Structure 1
Amino acid sequence: MRKVRDYDAELKALNDKARSLKTKKVEQLGQLVTATGADALDLDTLAGAMLHVVETASAEERGAWRVKGAAFFQRRRKKARP
């Protein structure tokens, strides 16, 4: 005899997991804004800068930003280690 699957419970578990991941992502984005010092900007300026980056970024620029971002996190990790 086959075991009956509880689709409602599985769907609820997936929704809970998705909600948890979304919450974690929002928290990490907030931490990133704080870590970079961008929390000193007013919201309109920060939003405008982010929109400009999304609209105008080429693949070359994104690559350069990726390198700069990786270097930023490497410096932070080294400072965190005593």
Structure 2
Amino acid sequence: MRKPRNFDAELKALEDKAKELRSRKVQQLGELVIATGADALTAEELAGALLLLTETKDASRREVCARRGAMFFQGRARRSASANDRDTRGTSAQSDRTQPTSGGTGAA
């Protein structure tokens, strides 16, 4: 005979997992705000900027934001990788990071 399922225990485990995932999401969003420098904004400014983006129906504007976000994450990955390369490759890592001074100032 099969053991009966304990639905209450399964439901409690699922609720605990959902709570843990929500908590992790909130923590990661806070880390993202800090990493982007948006923690220097007031809560009202940050909320307003996020509301503007969520209310935007213009697909091209959203695409621009998505590309900037992707570049942000790629830049962080490269910085982490270059720090690791410095330990293993020595001086060749320095030449990889050299940037021309005649380039633009970057996105505003």
TM-score by length of 2: 0.71
Within-5 A mapping of 1:1-82: 1-81=1-81, 82=83
Pair 57,38 (structure 1): closer, same or farther in 2 beyond 3 Å = farther
Matched to 1:18, the amino acid is A
Larger radius of gyration: 2
Judge which range, 33-42 or 51-60, deviates more. 51-60
Q: Gaps (5+ residues) in structure 1?
A: none
The CA RMSD over aligned residues, in Å, is: 1.1
- Number of aligned positions between the proteins: 82
Matched to 1:65, the amino acid is C
Q: Among the aligned pairs, what percent are the same residue? A: 54
CA contact (8 A) 2:38 2:46 kept: yes
Please report how far the alpha carbon of residue 22 of structure 1 lies from its aligned counterpart in structure 2 after TM superposition. 0.2
Please report how far the alpha carbon of residue 48 of structure 1 lies from its aligned counterpart in structure 2 after TM superposition. 1.2
Judge which range, 54-63 or 68-77, deviates more. 54-63
Please report how far the alpha carbon of residue 24 of structure 1 lies from its aligned counterpart in structure 2 after TM superposition. 0.5
Cα deviation digits, residues 15-64 of structure 1 (max 9, x gap):
00000000000001000100000000011111111111111242222222
CA–CA distance in 1 between the matches of 2:5 and 2:76? 47
Q: Gaps (5+ residues) in structure 2?
A: 84-108
Moved over 4 A (4+): none
TM-score by length of 1: 0.91
Higher helix share: 1
CA–CA distance in 2 between the matches of 1:17 and 1:33? 24
